[in-house]
Structure 1
Amino acid sequence: MLKEFKEFAMRGNVLDMAIGVIIGGAFGKIVSSLVSDVLMPPLGLLMGKVDFSSLFINLSGTPQPSLIAAKAAGVPTINYGVFLQATFDFIILAFVIFLLVKQMNRFKKEAPPAPPAGPTNEEKLLMEIRDVLKGKH
């Protein structure tokens, strides 16, 4: 069983997938930082100095000054600002992956179509018989 597992784990596809997952996780962190640290602050400024990550709906009857205070008090909240941030992360990540796959497909060389196979020996013999029969008429 150990030998079978080793063969499975050492296949090229499994290693490629593992590397892809690791790089994808790191890339996701870069995109999250791009959205939260570079894109969202100017967008929030344009929308009236709004910090998207602190937007929430308080589900309790007690007023809370901030999302951090509400979480510390254990108050139930709907954190739609965090959701918006995650949505922007996803959209940017999906777009970048789309562009990457599009470029990879562009550079990928397609194999030329195989030339049509010539007639088999049986087909050649049948053609010769056909030609002989045509000549007798």
Structure 2
Amino acid sequence: MGMIKEFKEFAMKGNVVDMAVGIVIGGAFGGIIKALVDKIMMPITGALTGGVDFSDRAYTLSVPGLAEGTAAPEIGWGAFLQALINFLIIAFCLFMVIKGMNSLKKTEEAAPAEPPEEIKLLREIRDSLVKA
């Protein structure tokens, strides 16, 4: 029973729950970015380059003595380029989200809430006692 209790304490810690939420949201965010790249960015890139689709681009290696009917090995540089573009877009989007969150934090920290009326009265009493 001790191990189950320890696991329960571990799983219910705030960091683990926050991490799980981050992973789920990250997966959904990845789907959004994939759609952005596949359906918006790559067609624009293809139009600018004359209709070239980079994801299918590959360099075929010439291998001497390859068996009849065997496909030559290929270096899929187009898939790598696609993954690199995905990464750059995801990194930029995350940068913008974090930058926005940091600016909101600064705004919240810059404007502290006014203390309640009870605190103001207690401060006045303290200041009167100090003067006396």
What is the TM-score of this pair, normalised by structure 1? 0.68
Please name the residue that 2:117 is paired with.
Answer: none
Instruction: Summarize deviations over 1:7-41 as a string: whole Å, max 9, x none.
Output: 01011111011010111011111101111111101
Query: In the alignment, which residue of structure 2 is the partner of 1:57?
Result: 59
1:4-83 matched pairs, under 5 angstroms: 4-61=6-63, 74-83=71-80
Give aligned-pair identity as a percent. 54
How far apart are residue 60 of structure 1 and its match?
3.5
Q: Counterpart of 2:81?
A: 84
Opposite residue 47 of structure 1, the aligned amino acid is T
Q: Aligned residue for 1:127?
A: none
CA contact (8 A) 2:63 2:72 kept: no
**Number of residues paired by the alignment?**
102
Displacement, 1:94? 0.4
Deviation of residue 61 (structure 1)? Answer: 4.6
Matched residue SS, 1:48: coil
Cα-to-partner distance string for 1:88-118 (whole Å, 9 max, x where unaligned): 1111100010010011111113387xxxxxx
Gap regions ≥5 residues in structure 1: 63-72, 113-137
CA RMSD of aligned residues (A): 1.9
The CA deviation at 1:75 is: 3.5
The higher radius of gyration belongs to 1
| Number of the residue aligned with 2:103 | 106
- Distance across 1 between alignment mates of 2:102 and 2:71: 50
Asked if 1 retains the 8 angstrom alpha-carbon contact of 2:57 and 2:78, the reply is yes
**Native 8 Å contact 2:60 2:75 kept in 1:** yes
Instruction: For 2:77, give the aligned amino acid.
Output: Y
Q: Identify unmatched segments of 5+ residues in structure 2.
A: 65-69, 113-132
Counterpart secondary structure, 1:110: helix
Q: Which stretches of structure 1, 4 residues or longer, exceed 4 Å deviation after superposition?
A: none
Q: 1:25 to 1:75 in 2, by over 3 A?
A: farther
